[in-house]
A and B are shown apart, each in its own frame.
Chain A
């Protein structure tokens, strides 16, 4: 049986996306200066174990381990030649876990610099970088493409265009927001309504936010209201951190408990967010509580 399209599914039921990947890999022994993409090739069972933990928690959207998988990011590790192989592998690993009623979400993170005129990269060059990564994710079996944690709407829109150019799969687009002078904006200063509208206009099927700098659970509720208003009936997504981080000695604590995140999830759903997931500080335990909320 053919899997239902993610965009149709999220209009008729509440869906849960998975949570943080990086911190789970660090718990499994990944070194800080290690390239996380390398684990798709060398530690596939560990990557799958993280996917399995989230899938078992009730998450139906399984995000590939490919946040830093663009050529520009891999080149920082001197591994720019591995884009196709490792992104394909990342999608395959998620596909082995997602199952018939789960979706493989092909993850694309920021390319790591600024577009012209602020930086030296042209939109055409960036589109090529994204196309290469997205093509490999599609080849590996992605069911949707996630262009995530973006600060610059221009970069996000290039990502969406690149996805649209290589596949008909739905595109999910998310921004990282921060609160400056009482308003939610991306680092580039774009307000929520303008950012979200730009994402849909560029061809995103689902738009919203993930992560963010120093946002509290209450902030995420306010942010959700603005996202839903801007979406105007179109599907939305929010993947909050487990509250704002707090430093204790050498460790960073995210204080929101699974129960806190479950309560937040109910509130987000009541506001009209279609897909809820997690970001920094969330674990399979948080997502299990959120999926049941």
Chain B
């Protein structure tokens, strides 16, 4: 008998082969795919995220855990889709115009996926109107903007402006990246800032709940 906590521990430890075996075993035992996501994968990712926030683990451990989670999701996603189950929240994410850096953005996308958000990843160098169009198309609760360069941060402001101008009142905007601060977030009128990919999950859950 496999248990959900065994799965969570395998994900947290980045043991992808074990994690896949547990996922399959839990399905064979009759558990619902959504329960496996919510009570196995999500707690595993939350636990590694917590350790990351506390500087007990670093980027490599997060990436390895996320990879294990992703492989389990490959098994579960078709089943979830067949049952018509969609993630509760959808986030549109991208690196802002002029900036080609994607490591931070990818980390946040993985962590959000690990918290069972639907992710629409627009990549890098994303124009403000592209964020707006994707958020509309996917009825996203969240728009997540990333920038690594101090020189591209003004593109965040333009994107916030474009989202507000489009009247997308139902979507919240969160910002992050090495040079970004809470102060800057407030100044450009974004809805939230988080300083690392694990805190981004807490913020995303908080913001999405208010949508």
A residues adjacent to B (C-beta < 8 A):
22-23, 26, 31-33, 76-77, 112-114, 117-118, 151, 180-181, 183, 185, 187-189, 213-214, 245, 247, 249-250, 252, 280
Per-position contact with A for B48-61: 1 when CB-CB < 8 Å, else 0?
00000011011111
Given A189-B61, A245-B179, A250-B157: 10 more A-B contacts, CB < 8 Å: A23-B151, A26-B151, A76-B100, A117-B67, A183-B55, A185-B58, A187-B58, A249-B187, A252-B151, A280-B150
Q: Which residue in A32, A77, A183, A185 is a CB contact (below 8 Å) of B98?
A: A32
Per the CB 8 Å criterion, the residue count for chain B at the interface is: 32
Q: Is B152 an interface residue (CB 8 A)?
A: yes
Least CB distance, B72 to chain A, in whole angstroms = 17
Q: Which residues of B contact A118 (CB under 8 A)?
A: 60, 63-64, 67
Residues of A contacting B: mostly: loop
Q: Which residues of A contact B136 (CB under 8 A)?
A: none
Cβ of A32 and Cβ of B151 under 8 Å apart? Answer: yes
14 intermolecular pairs with C-beta atoms under 8 Å apart: A33-B100, A76-B124, A118-B60, A183-B55, A185-B58, A188-B58, A189-B57, A214-B178, A247-B179, A247-B181, A247-B183, A247-B187, A249-B187, A252-B151
Q: How far is the CA of A29 from the CA of B26 in the complex (A)?
A: 59
Q: Which residues of A contact B58 (CB under 8 A)?
A: 185, 187-189
Q: Is B174 an interface residue (CB 8 A)?
A: no
Cβ of B63 and Cβ of A247 under 8 Å apart? Answer: no
Q: How far is the CA of A23 from the CA of B63 in the complex (A)?
A: 32
Q: Which residue in A33, A76, A112, A189 is a CB contact (below 8 Å) of B97?
A: A33
Least CB distance, B18 to chain A, in whole angstroms = 15
Least CB distance, A175 to chain B, in whole angstroms = 14
Least CB distance, B104 to chain A, in whole angstroms = 9
Give the residue name and chain of the B residue nearest to A151 (CB): B59
Q: Is B12 an interface residue (CB 8 A)?
A: no
Q: Which residues of A contact B178 (CB under 8 A)?
A: 213-214
B residues adjacent to A (C-beta < 8 A):
54-55, 57-61, 63-64, 67, 97-101, 103, 124-125, 149-155, 157, 178-179, 181, 183-184, 187
Q: Which residues of B contact A252 (CB under 8 A)?
A: 150-151, 153, 179
Give the residue name and chain of the B residue nearest to A247 (CB): B184
Q: How far is the CA of A112 from the CA of B104 in the complex (A)?
A: 11
Q: Which residues of A contact B55 (CB under 8 A)?
A: 180-181, 183
Give the residue name and chain of the A residue nearest to B61 (CB): A189
Give the residue name and chain of the A residue nearest to B158 (CB): A250
Q: How far is the CA of A23 from the CA of B64 in the complex (A)?
A: 35
Q: Which residues of B contact A181 (CB under 8 A)?
A: 54-55
Cβ of A22 and Cβ of B151 under 8 Å apart? Answer: yes
Q: How far is the CA of A31 from the CA of B155 in the complex (A)?
A: 13
Smallest CB-CB A-B distances: 9 pairs: A189-B58, A32-B98, A252-B150, A181-B55, A118-B63, A33-B98, A247-B184, A180-B55, A250-B154
Q: Which residues of A contact B155 (CB under 8 A)?
A: 32
Q: How far is the CA of A185 from the CA of B56 in the complex (A)?
A: 12
Least CB distance, B166 to chain A, in whole angstroms = 21
Q: How far is the CA of A31 from the CA of B100 in the complex (A)?
A: 13
Q: How far is the CA of A188 from the CA of B154 in the complex (A)?
A: 28
Q: How far is the CA of A188 from the CA of B178 in the complex (A)?
A: 14
Q: Which residues of B contact A188 (CB under 8 A)?
A: 58-60
Q: How far is the CA of A233 from the CA of B124 in the complex (A)?
A: 43
